[in-house]
Amino acid sequence: MSSPWDASAVEFMDAQTRAERSRNWWQPVPSYIADIPKTADWAVAAFALGVGLYFALPFEPNQGLCAGMAACAALIWAVLERRQSLVLPALICIFAVFGLSRAAWHSAAKSTPFLDEGFYTVTGWIEAEERSGNGVRWRIRVHDLEGRNVPDGIEHVRIKINKGRGDVGQGVRLQAILSAPPGPVVPGGYDPARSAYFAGMSAYGFSTSEAKYVEIASKTAAEDTHRQIARFRFGVAARILEQAPEPTAGLQVALLTGIRSYIPDAQTDALRAAGLAHVLAISGLHMGLLAGGVYGLASLLLSMIGPLARRYDMRKLAATIGALAATAYLILSGASVATQRAYIMALIVFLAVVMDRRAFSIRSVSIAAFITLMLHPEALVSAGFQMSFAAVIALVIVYRNWQGPVAEQRSFGNRMLSGLSTLSITSFVAGTATAGYAVMHFNRMATYGFVGNLLAMPIFTFLVMPAALATLIAMPFGLEWAPLQIMGAALSALLWVAQWVASWPDAMAHVKSPPNWVIAFYSVGFLWLFLGEKRFKIRSLAVFAICIFAWAMEPIADMRVSEDGRIAIWNDGARDTLYVGSNRADRYGREQFIQRAGVGDAETKRYADTIALCDALACRVEISGQSVSIVSHPSEVPEECRYSALVVLTERSAGPVAKRQCKAVLIGTDELKRNGAYDIFVSEHGIKTRRAISDTRRQRPWGVWTYRRD
């Protein structure tokens, strides 16, 4: 039986608790969060959702978004005082707005100016040299730019060099024709202008004079450091090209320095067809093998120092050495976004070793994703980011549930079997996790990718990367020749496997492009499947079903009109022949059009010689029961508008009277200049068009330049 004193004590304790909360109003939230499993992981997912929303918006958000975020946060925290069950939804809302805000601020801070097309005199130093076929392109850090209407803030341009050679880091002056980075060549396709905007690249072009070499001093200490690193990287690449076996020298340069322009196209195609293209991009695999190899070697050597090993935990010192090696590899490899992600993951692993914590967990993946998106929000919409994190998330989840029983196997035979099983599981899980993104972005999938990885990855893991580590250790002493030969021999074996697998029937499967929103929905389903509870896993299956259905129902364009009026037509359901006006023009755009149709290769024929009726001024062709006219002179527009459902004017522009009187869909040079390439969908119900440059894209910072072209 309780006494009045007990009731008074309880009342006093309640009053004290309320007073404590009133004094420390910010503290209850962490305690709530601590009771919610995986909250931090979902918060990072919400942050990524906010970043994705920024790129999906049809307009550019202004800085007033910050005030909206603060008001939203204040309202949500007020609700939390009464209903703790809303903590997770509240946190997701706050981080989504935070992600949207961070992407908007990052975009505004970049503010890369684009150049109008014209003749310019460029003075700067060579940041990088890129090779493509027989051509050479320089990425130049601009110090001075002379020309018409030059805006402030021009930092980088890329120029194809016709005459002259130069070393990276060297100052040059040359004349060039430059223009703003182009928009997408196909509707919904890759946007070079957006990538250039966030990379600080203001113009592309080609030189019209031989480069003159000049002395240029770096403006800041940071620029000088960047210049020295560029010289060092390309200097290392030159040494490798000189001493490595010629057939594999390009691959060795790519694996050690991240410079991939020396790899022959045939090798790239073979690796891609065998599902081994991931070995070309320095990411988690490379960083893990190299930094992990340094950690293992350092642990072995330090453990042999008896007095130190008995007194201290040598693993922690080895982890520090491994972190330093990862930092050096990051700098040498060019610090791409994928490499930065791998570097962050490596640092988290080594930090966990130092702090006696579990090294591999979803939490470490979340931290790496959050840091990467904070630094580079634009990375979210790239295929590399999506595929990289998809593979890591799947592997962490699978190994978290699978590694227990394997650890009990101690005999040599069991260890060998365990190693083979681990390699098989790794290849299968990583390949399956990334397959969806690979198909959605590149419209192709390596049919025998699992087999290719199973055969080639032991060579890469146990021979190629250890030899690469030995090369980097030996290079300061001038002894890199021997490990380069071993690395080259191992890569030759890997290439043989890739070429053998690529030669199998139907080694590369091709699939048509899905709607762009499918990638976002697929990502939500992927996170629900691997991070969610049982009810979310079931919902993820429904999400995948919706994505597959929408993907299957997505129509394929029947006709393409490029920005400069070049025509390409599918005229049969098999889509094995593409009818074009010229085999030489619009080659890249035509390749993208074929790829997005899910066709591996197509024969090209001139429509004027096959399916069209032509005279000197116009051609008329039947597509799906509709008449389409391709006109080269405005005088023919009125007549063709009477007989055709679609009229394409490839040269000059139709007058305002002709445009008003034309009952057909009319696409002229004005529309092409303003809207870019067109995809045309023809059916018995009429004509539908899709533009590469939409009105909403012009509202974004990387699309504003299209106004200046009008």
677 with 185: CB under 8 angstroms? yes
> If you average pLDDT over every residue of the chain, what do you get?
84
Spatial separation of the C-alpha atoms in residues 361 and 539, rounded to whole Å: 24
Going by pLDDT thresholds of 50, 70 and 90, the confidence category of residue 381 is very high
Model confidence over 335-370: pLDDT tens digits? 887 788 889 888 988 988 888 777 667 888 888 899
Q: CA 480 from chain center: how many Å? A: 33
Going by pLDDT thresholds of 50, 70 and 90, the confidence category of residue 682 is very high
Of 649, 680, 645, give the one whose Cα is nearest residue 664. 645
Model confidence over 69-103: pLDDT tens digits? 656 666 666 565 556 566 667 777 788 888 888 89
Residue 207 backbone class (left: φ over 0; alpha: ψ -120 to 50; beta: rest): beta
CA distances from residue 432 to 368, 382, 387, 436, 438 in whole angstroms, order as listed? 22, 19, 10, 8, 10
For residue 241, give both structure tokens.
């090209």
Query: What is the per-residue pLDDT for 405?
Result: 47
Q: Give the residue-averaged pLDDT of 162-187.
A: 88
Whether the predicted pLDDT of 709 surpasses 90: no
- DSSP at 140: E
Query: What is the per-residue pLDDT for 491?
Result: 95
Query: What is the per-residue pLDDT for 91?
Result: 75
**On the CB side of 569, how many CA atoms lie within 13 Å of its CA?**
27
Query: What is the per-residue pLDDT for 412?
Result: 58
Whether the predicted pLDDT of 9 surpasses 60: no
What is the pTM assigned to this prediction?
0.87
For residue 100, give both structure tokens.
């949207």
For residue 97, give both structure tokens.
């707005």
Task: Output the furthest CA–CA distance in the chain (Å, rounded).
Answer: 109
649-676 b/e with 16+ CB inside 10 Å = b? bbebbbeeebeeebebbbbbbebbbbbb
- Work out the burial of residue 213: count CB atoms within 10 Å of its CB; fewer than 13 is exposed, 13-18 middle, 19 or more buried: middle
Q: Which residues have a Cβ under 8 Å from the Cβ of 452 and sit 6 or more positions away?
A: 274, 275, 276, 446, 497, 498, 501
Residue type, 223: E
Query: What is the per-residue pLDDT for 561?
Result: 95
H or E element at residue 222: helix 221-243
Query: What is the per-residue pLDDT for 120?
Result: 95
CA distances from residue 588 to 186, 262, 269, 315, 585 in whole angstroms, order as listed? 10, 21, 17, 52, 9
Model confidence over 557-604: pLDDT tens digits? 999 999 999 999 998 777 889 999 888 888 999 999 999 999 988 899
Domain residue spans of the chain: 1-34, 36-110, 118-217, 234-509, 516-553, 559-709
Q: Could you tell me where the beta strands, DSSP code E, fall in 448-532?
A: 508-510
Q: DSSP secondary structure string, 223-269? A: HHHHHHHHHHHHHHHHHHHHHS-GGGHHHHHHHHH---TTS-HHHHH
H or E element at residue 674: helix 669-675
Beta strand 171-179 pairing with 618-623: unpaired
Spatial separation of the C-alpha atoms in residues 309 and 299, rounded to whole Å: 10
SS3 380: helix
Going by pLDDT thresholds of 50, 70 and 90, the confidence category of residue 204 is very high
236-274 b/e with 16+ CB inside 10 Å = b? bbebbeebbeeebbbbbbbbbbbbbebbeeebbebbbbb
Spatial separation of the C-alpha atoms in residues 522 and 52, rounded to whole Å: 13
End-to-end CA distance of the chain: 88
Q: Other C-beta atoms within 10 Å of 627: how many? A: 16
CATH of 118-217, one of 2.40.50.140, 2.60.40.420, 1.10.150.130, 3.50.50.60: 2.40.50.140
Question: Comparing 22 with 450, which gets the higher pLDDT?
Answer: 450
